[in-house]
Structure 1
Amino acid sequence: MNNKKIAGEILKFVGGAGNVQSVTHCATRLRIITNDKAQIDSKAVEAVDKVKGTFFNSGQYQVILGTGLVDKVYSEFVPLLSASPADQAAPKKEKMTFKRAIRIFGDVFVPIIPVLVATGLFMGLRGLLTQQAVLGMIGLTPSQIPKELLVFTQVLTDTAFAFLPALVAWSTFKIFGGTPILGIVLGLMLVSSVLPNAYAVGEGTAKPLIFFGFLKVVGYQGSVLPAFVTGIVGSKIEIFLKKYIPDSLDLILTPFLTLLSGLLLALFIIGPIFHGVETGVLQAVEFLLALPLGIGGLIYGSFGQLLGIFGIHHILNFLEISMLGKDGWDYLNPIGSCGNVAQAGAVLAVSIKSLSPKIKQIGYPSALSAALGITEPAIFGISLRLIKPYIMAMIGGGVGGFLASILHLRADGMALTGIPGMLLYLNEQLPLFIFVNLVAFGVAFGLTWFFGYQKNQEL
């Protein structure tokens, strides 16, 4: 049976084009949202050649086809939906719930996860091999590393995160029905080299642009939620324009107005809102670190993990640099490290316990990446989409952060956490650093294993 025939059979047994509200796919499954679940004949779908199984989850009817085949069947399935407009019923709008919002947010990151995992491994390896302690074993110092080699490794480690908004905007446009290439371009505009780099502004080495005397504008480097919101708004603008712009002018006006309005909204409304949030977060974290009895470490270790989701974590670079400049120590690093390692623990528990090959495929490398300090694959690929493992990781991070604060742990540098972060504690603190991270990992792993995940859960 060829791919077109498979797509046609699946469509027929899910109730026809009139019963299909939307369809997407992940690495292995066709994901169909239907208007009426009762019209689906699951036994007939499972009997279709090359279909490996089906299940219904979070409002989606998911048909398991396998890697590679799902892309081909999807390409044949989509045209069939518009082949007979007369047969299509008016779609019912699916109610937006918190769980559905998380699912959509996770779906945006599915195609990006492999890149983030690879980048995490590159960062961990680069951090390890450029540390004084490691180079000293072979009689070298960081200053002796060839500049060309450093540039090469920096390309490997910085590219994905420097252009992360472009990847997020591209995927968001695709999910919400816009033209993906417009999403890429709009995302690239958000990290244009003519805008002040967000990390440089966070470090205090650059200043934001001031428009109209009060609006502060910076680039979106490393940002997630701002690019996601911009992608949603931009795709909706494009869809709206296509309804009203004549076909003869569509090619000229639709891209022009979509990019223009999307960038204006991103820079002058979305951007300033998040800049205000960043300022508040910086002040709140400074206040937390001053609290006695480890309370600040407990709170930041738990809730600091949310900052990466909202794309405002880079503002803390300024605080860490200020600490290092003041007395040579970074007190935020050990607490943040516990949060990252806790994500690794939660995701590893899910990966081991799960019966889903898909979760295992994503989970194991994502857990390793989180242990190396890059948590995006673990968060957006597994824990946040399942919700409970994310909460368990927050608890684990909070416990580890509490211990790190009580033990007065402090790093002699920044930007390294998890396993590579041990290089910042090569003194009497190293055993304590390992201890608090193992506790964070163990608490998150244990809570997820016993309370946060059922082995038959799917993404």
Structure 2
Amino acid sequence: MAKKETDYKQLAEEILALVGGEENIDNVIHCITRLRFYLKDDSKADKESLEDLSGVMGIVEANNQFQVIVGQAVDEIYKELTALLPNQQEEKEAESPSRFKDQKTFMGKVRYGFNQVIGVITGAVMPIIHILAASGIIKSVLAIGTTSGWITESGSAYLIINAMADTVFYFLPILIGYNAAKRLGGNPVLTAVIGGVIMYPSILEAAEEELLILSVGPVDFPYVAYTYSIFPMILAAWLVKILEDRVRKWLPSYIQSIFTPIIVMSIVVAVTFLFTGPVITWISLGLAEGLQVLLSWNAAIFGGIIAGLYQILVIFGLHWGIIPIYVNDFALLGYSYLSAIVSFSIVGQAGAALGVAVKSKKPKIKELGYAGTISAFCGITEPAIYGINLRFRRPFIAASIGSAVGGFFTGLLRVNMWSIIGSIIGLPSYIDPDAGINSNFWYAVMITILTLVVSCLITYFWGYNDDMKMEQKREKPKNPGKVVPE
């Protein structure tokens, strides 16, 4: 264990130096496999040397971020990295590089605003993604237990396991509000309390009974149940941040600690109940219903296109902007057709990496191929993409074709998903919590096998041979005017 920690510390130090040092960093966050830097000057980062580091799988520059792909050890590396950045605050808003703040053009402002919104949304959802996935799996296992008779709905085991599975969804507004406030640099605890207010049992009962908060002429303002909701609390976190800063400026210091929370809570709760909450909830439902419309037009073609192209978003790190849409589907509907479609793109990448591993006689290539395959089976595609598929190019094309086939049949058979985790490890996600194992699950198993086989065979017969050379990293150009110390 000590060796691992030492290796992560050394890697963090090397990464920090090669991105231009602490003075070149506005902020750094991370997702499941990537360190996402907001740099002041991207040109100061030594991209080629970073790609040559053992433990770095690749570099992506997208969405105003300089992304260093390090795989599933990202948590450990991030901890070591932030320990080297005493002036960095994790709670700080995920801001774009300084040069984008100074944009005077309309498009520059739009670009900056868009990146701010995406940064806050992903920052709010990302810390609980694994918990959401785990809870979905528990729900699926509980469905198997109840339909098979192992667990009865009136028993204590069902009560406890169901609470384990449902808690993260039920209290989602509190968790989302807390995380969004941290990302915005606001007050996480105050925001979480506001999340608790809108979920208070008597409030939920009033929403269930369709009671009204008030009526103004012909306009009614009904109570809305915010359990399982995301976007209303993200906006509430932003309001808390703005209001708290301003209220503290208005109030004398000796009454700030008491009256600031009172004023902020009163305003934000009122705005959330009367305006932002209902509007955002209606928009969220509209997005979900819009997806259903797209699927109703031609679900097979829609599924094939989305699944075939989805991993391109992963390459540029843009897939994190779509994940909140899945979570919103799960929160409002309990399921997500979109998540089911893109899940098979993960299987496609696994199949291509497996095809390379099976065909190659080179030990290093076999090791990379099998490692990428296993990682993709567990829902993480970066090792397969950057370790093998993209570097030989054709395997990535084969994976995209296999994924498109999987997405086509997913749409054709209307396969649905009840948890956010995909690939082989996520097969229980296709079990209907109400109906148990039915045709939806077996369709998912069939499509998983089909996608895996198609990607693997195309790669085996067309996408790879041992005479192919892995894409070489470019040599860093030398500056003849610079004296390099020996």
Q: Which TM bucket (shorter chain)? A: 0.5 to 0.7
Of residues 163, 167, 177, the one that matches 1:159 is: 167
Asked if the contact 2:175–2:192 (Cα under 8 Å) also holds between the matched residues in 1, the reply is: yes
Match of 1:74 in 2: 82
The residue number in structure 2 matching 1:424 is: 435
Task: Determine if the alignment matches structure 1 residue 55 to structure 2 residue 59.
Answer: yes
Q: What count of residue pairs does the alignment treat as equivalent?
A: 373
> Which residue of 110, 116, 134 maps to 1:118?
134
* Residue 179 of structure 1: aligned partner: 187
Correspondence for 1:208 among 207, 210, 213? 210
Change (3 A) 1:157 1:435: closer
Mapped partners of 1:445, 1:234: distance in 2: 51
Partners of 2:285 and 2:49 in 1: CA distance: 56
Aligned alpha-carbon RMSD (Å): 5.6
Describe the shift of the 1:349–1:439 C-alpha distance in structure 2 as closer, same or farther (beyond 3 A): closer
Residue in 1 aligned with 2:363?
none
The alpha carbon displacement at 1:146 in A equals 5.0
Aligned mate of 2:157, from 142, 149, 154? 149
For residue 344 of structure 1, what is the aligned residue in structure 2? 343
TM-score by length of 2: 0.57
Match of 2:145 among 129, 149, 156: 129
Instruction: Give matches, 1:359-374, under 5 Å.
Output: 364-366=377-379
| SS of aligned partner of 1:33 | strand
Output the amino acid matched with 2:129: I
Question: What pairs up with 1:96-115 in 2 under 5 angstroms?
Answer: 96=112, 102=118, 105-115=121-131
Contact 1:342 1:444 in 2 (8 A): no
Pair 282,295 (structure 1): closer, same or farther in 2 beyond 3 Å: same
SS at match of 1:424: coil
Asked if structure 1 preserves the Cα contact closer than 8 Å seen for 2:191 and 2:240, the reply is yes
Alignment check: 8 A CA contact 1:396 1:440 kept: yes
Quote the Cα distance in structure 2 between the aligned partners of 1:119 and 1:32: 30
Summarize the Cα distance change of 1:27–1:315 in structure 2 as closer, same or farther, 3 Å threshold. closer
Which is further off, 116-125 or 61-70? 61-70
Over residues 304-340 of structure 1, what are the superposed CA-to-partner deviations in whole Å (9 max), with x where a residue is unaligned?
x9995483666668xxxxxxxxxxxxxxxxxx77655
Superposition map of 1:3-402 within 5 A: 14-15=19-20, 19-26=24-31, 30-41=35-46, 55-58=59-62, 59-62=64-67, 64=70, 66-79=74-87, 92-93=100-101, 95-96=111-112, 102=118, 105-131=121-147, 134-135=148-149, 147-196=155-204, 206-213=208-215, 214-239=220-245, 241=247, 250-277=256-283, 295=297, 309=326, 311=328, 339-350=338-349, 364-366=377-379, 400-402=410-412
In the alignment, the residues of structure 2 paired with residue 46 and residue 247 of structure 1 have an alpha-carbon distance, to the nearest angstrom, of 51
Which consecutive residues of structure 1, in runs of 5 or more, have no partner in the other structure?
Answer: 82-88, 318-335, 368-388, 410-415
Asked whether the 8 Å contact 1:223–1:311 carries over to 2, the reply is yes
Whole-Å separation in 2 of the counterparts to 1:276 and 1:282: 10
Q: Is the deviation greater in 182-191 or in 170-179?
A: 182-191
* TM-score normalised per structure 1: 0.59
C-alpha displacement of 1:227: 2.7
Residue 100 to residue 270, structure 1, CA distance change in 2 (3 Å): closer
Distance, in Å, in 2 between the alignment partners of 1:219 and 1:360 is 42
Cα deviation for residue 195 of structure 1 reads 1.9
2:28 counterpart letter in structure 1: V
C-alpha distance in 2 between matches for 1:209 and 1:311: 25
Shift of 1:67: 3.4
- Return closer, same or farther for 1:28/1:243 CA change in 2, 3 Å cut-off: farther
- Conservation of the 8 A alpha-carbon contact between 2:430 and 2:444: no
Please list the CA deviations of residues 397-445 of structure 1 after superposition, one character each: whole Å capped at 9, or x if unmatched. 675454459xxx9xxxxxx99642398388xxx6687348745985799
Structure 2 gaps of 5+ residues are 1-5, 90-96, 102-107, 307-321, 354-367, 381-398, 417-426, 459-469, 472-486
CA distance in 2, matches of 1:283, 1:346: 23
Whole-angstrom distance in 1 between the partners of 2:57 and 2:210: 53
SS, match of residue 110 in structure 1: helix
1:223/1:312 contact within 8 Å kept? no
Q: 1:425 to 1:100 in 2, by over 3 A?
A: same
Report the CA distance between 1:157 and its aligned residue. Answer: 1.2
- Partner Cα distance (2:299, 2:16) in 1: 53
After superposition, the Cα gap between the structure-2 partners of 1:230 and 1:250, relative to the gap in structure 1 and judged at 3 Å, is same
Q: CA deviation at 1:161?
A: 0.7
Distance of aligned partners of 1:103 and 1:184 in 2 relative to their CA distance in 1, 3 Å threshold: same
Counterpart code for 1:57: E
Contact 1:3 1:76 in 2 (8 A): no
Partner in structure 1 of residue 3 of structure 2 = none
Letter in 2 for 1:222: Y
Q: Which residue of 2 aligns with 1:378?
A: none
Cα distance between partner residues in 1 of 2:128 and 2:14: 31
Quote the Cα distance in structure 2 between the aligned partners of 1:244 and 1:352: 61
Partner SS state of residue 85, structure 2: helix
Judge conservation of contact 1:24–1:31 (CA < 8 Å) in 2: yes
Q: CA deviation at 1:271?
A: 1.7
Q: CA deviation at 1:165?
A: 1.8
* 1:275/1:248 CA distance change after superposition, 3 Å: same
Deviations 1:66-125 (A, max 9, x none): 4334224314414268xxxxxxx9764283376775565334332112211221121011
